Structure 1
Amino acid sequence: MKKILFPTDFSETANNAFVYALEMAKCIDAEVVVLHVYDLPSVSYGEIPFVVSEIYDSIELNNFENFKDQIPFLREIADKHQLGSVKMSHVLRHGDLIRTMKEICHDELIDMIVMGTNGATGLQEMFLGSNTGNAIVNIPVTLLSVPNGAKYTRLQHFGFTTKFDDADREALKKVVNIAKKFHADVKCLTVKTHGFDVSDEGMTFWKSDFKDEPVEFFLVPHDDVKETIYDFVEHQNIDVLAMVTHKRNFFEELFTHSLTQKLSYHSEKPILAFH
């Protein structure tokens, strides 16, 4: 893993996620590519096109000046957290955020995206149409979503949810590799509902790939998958919850409005989404 993309609007939420991006880059020896994307307004002056050109030039100049002014502040954040040695590059683009992110991920061979989101409401929106949700669905790159309430401390426990299928096995290998960089362990949760059809032999075979790794497995019989995940995160002191995005509707169900109260603790936990 060599490059981490960090899209920012220079907000408090983004700056909070920036610390996670820096810490991740430090542990995996990666570069942070800082991206700021802005939109040009739709302006139409058919008879005096030079006015439109001047307006666009002015907007682009203002965005460039703002971007330039923010770079030293990001350096201050890095230095404050003893992360000033992390390599950073900066990209300023205008256009659509998701399309621009996809282009940069392709051109720069991005390995991970780190983005911020706002609290419990932000977690719901994250999978229901926000920029972070759209990125998770539309950009085939591992994405770490960092809620504004998550304050970085040393990562000790990574959580992972699995149904013991092949996609989960490959994702878990990636989670283990990341966790080991942080000298952390991985706690895997399987919620055994009435429809769960994996045999004991099948689970044993699936787990055999991880017998020498810092991985612990938990099998919890319950039909409420969402509540079981929340309880697991709370009681196992999970610092980052990793999940595979099999279906978008799973996340839509996971973060519905009716579960806002349950998210009171979960909103402080970053989510690492794998495709």
Structure 2
Amino acid sequence: MKTKRIILPTDFSKNAWNAMIYALAIFKEVPCDFYVLNAFQVGTSGLGTKIGMANDTHFFNLLKEESEREVNKTLDQLHQISTNPDHHFHGLSIADNLVNAIGRTVYNKGMDYIIMGTKGASGLKEVFMGSNTYKIIREIDFCPIIAVPDDYQCTEGLRTILLVTGYEHLFESYELSPVVQLAEMFHAKIQMAHVTDGNLTKEQEHSKKTLKLKFKSVPIDFIEVKKETTVQNSIQKIIGDDQAIDLVAMINHDRGFFERLTREPVIKKIAFNSIVPFLVIHLFE
């Protein structure tokens, strides 16, 4: 089995640690190179003087040392938890903003997934996206991202993956592979959900038929869901009605569709209010 390369961004919070535990659980049987990444930044002092620059350099060195120390501590903890000898852990302390640090690492090292936490929670129904998670989902459009809700625990691997689609695109097999590979790894079922407030067009019917042929290696169900007040509410209802759904996936193939979806004010702050992890795959460079 090919080794997976996975970025685990961290700010050393409980939330980030929880996402790492999820990554170890979900890829328990898979050879992996995990990259624990912390990004740190020094704001300029605004003083164009030697004292100002010396202060910045001193502060930079302090931040760098702290980042490296905490990353190494995290690596030690992950080593103790992982039971797979084919799991390898690497630390990255990068002086940059988080989006740039992740983007450069994905590009330079050819990553398969980014797995990170969402920030804070207000009851089970509201898992607020941290601004960083939201930025990464919006801006890193060349690597699949799994956002893990605060306190979510992976107890039974993956049983059902809910893949939300508008049937507006004829998917190629390679575009579906991040979802299919996860389903194959866990012998999971894929539930293809189309949220509708009307009948399918001829083009959408054709796309649906083509999709049926693409999923030969995994069991798949197709469901039509009557649109609630918003697409987000409709998806939330599906998850609430089916306790076996362990991952919500969305393939973003069209900026227009995604833009429309993210204009729903709730999604600005939350990944579908999701109480399960949320996988986003972008199909454009």
Taking the aligned partners of 1:81 and 1:89, their CA distance within structure 2 comes to 14
Structure 1 equivalent of residue 225 of structure 2: 220
Q: Is the partner of 1:40 in helix, strand or coil?
A: coil
How big is the shift at 1:220? 2.5
Do 1:33 and 1:91's aligned partners in 2 also have CA atoms closer than 8 Å?
Answer: yes
Equivalent AA in structure 2 for residue 255 of structure 1? V
Taking the aligned partners of 1:131 and 1:209, their CA distance within structure 2 comes to 34
Post-superposition CA distance 1:48-78 (Å, at most 9, x none): x155325423442343245324423443245
**Is residue 209 of structure 1 aligned with residue 220 of structure 2?**
no
For residue 182 of structure 2, the aligned residue among 178, 182, 186 is: 178
**Where does structure 2 lack aligned partners over 5 or more consecutive residues?**
none
Do 1:8 and 1:36's aligned partners in 2 also have CA atoms closer than 8 Å?
Answer: yes
Do 1:124 and 1:252's aligned partners in 2 also have CA atoms closer than 8 Å?
Answer: no
Do 2:171 and 2:211's aligned partners in 1 also have CA atoms closer than 8 Å?
Answer: no
Structure 1 equivalent of residue 98 of structure 2: 97
Structure 2 equivalent of residue 253 of structure 1: 264
Taking the aligned partners of 2:136 and 2:147, their CA distance within structure 1 comes to 10
Post-superposition CA distance 1:62-116 (Å, at most 9, x none): 4324532442344324523645752111111112211121111111111211111
| C-alpha distance 28-251 of structure 1, shift in aligned 2 (>3 A) | farther
Structure 2 equivalent of residue 232 of structure 1: 238
For residue 250 of structure 2, the aligned residue among 243, 251, 259 is: 243
Structure 2 equivalent of residue 87 of structure 1: 88
For residue 194 of structure 2, the aligned residue among 161, 183, 190 is: 190
Q: Is the partner of 1:87 in helix, strand or coil?
A: strand
TM-score w.r.t. structure 2 length?
0.80
Structure 2 equivalent of residue 162 of structure 1: 165
**Is residue 17 of structure 1 aligned with residue 19 of structure 2?**
yes
User: What is the count of residue pairs matched by the alignment?
Assistant: 267
Taking the aligned partners of 1:223 and 1:148, their CA distance within structure 2 comes to 26
Identical aligned residues as a percent: 23
How big is the shift at 1:19? 1.1
Taking the aligned partners of 1:257 and 1:65, their CA distance within structure 2 comes to 32
Post-superposition CA distance 1:149-173 (Å, at most 9, x none): 3112222221111122224865434
How big is the shift at 1:248? 3.4
Taking the aligned partners of 1:120 and 1:62, their CA distance within structure 2 comes to 28
Taking the aligned partners of 1:59 and 1:209, their CA distance within structure 2 comes to 51
TM-score w.r.t. structure 1 length?
0.83
Do 1:176 and 1:213's aligned partners in 2 also have CA atoms closer than 8 Å?
Answer: yes
Q: Residues 99-114 of structure 1: matches in 2 within 5 Å? A: 99-114=100-115
Equivalent AA in structure 1 for residue 238 of structure 2? F
How big is the shift at 1:141? 1.0
How big is the shift at 1:272? 0.3
Structure 2 equivalent of residue 152 of structure 1: 154
Do 1:25 and 1:31's aligned partners in 2 also have CA atoms closer than 8 Å?
Answer: no
Taking the aligned partners of 1:258 and 1:173, their CA distance within structure 2 comes to 28
| C-alpha distance 204-211 of structure 1, shift in aligned 2 (>3 A) | same
Equivalent AA in structure 1 for residue 160 of structure 2? H
Post-superposition CA distance 1:14-40 (Å, at most 9, x none): 000111222344444221111111110
Equivalent AA in structure 2 for residue 33 of structure 1? Y
**Where does structure 1 lack aligned partners over 5 or more consecutive residues?**
none
Greater helix fraction, Structure 1 or Structure 2: 1
| C-alpha distance 119-107 of structure 1, shift in aligned 2 (>3 A) | same
Taking the aligned partners of 1:222 and 1:249, their CA distance within structure 2 comes to 15
Q: Is the partner of 1:118 in helix, strand or coil?
A: coil
Equivalent AA in structure 1 for residue 165 of structure 2? T
How big is the shift at 1:229? 1.0
Equivalent AA in structure 2 for residue 92 of structure 1? S
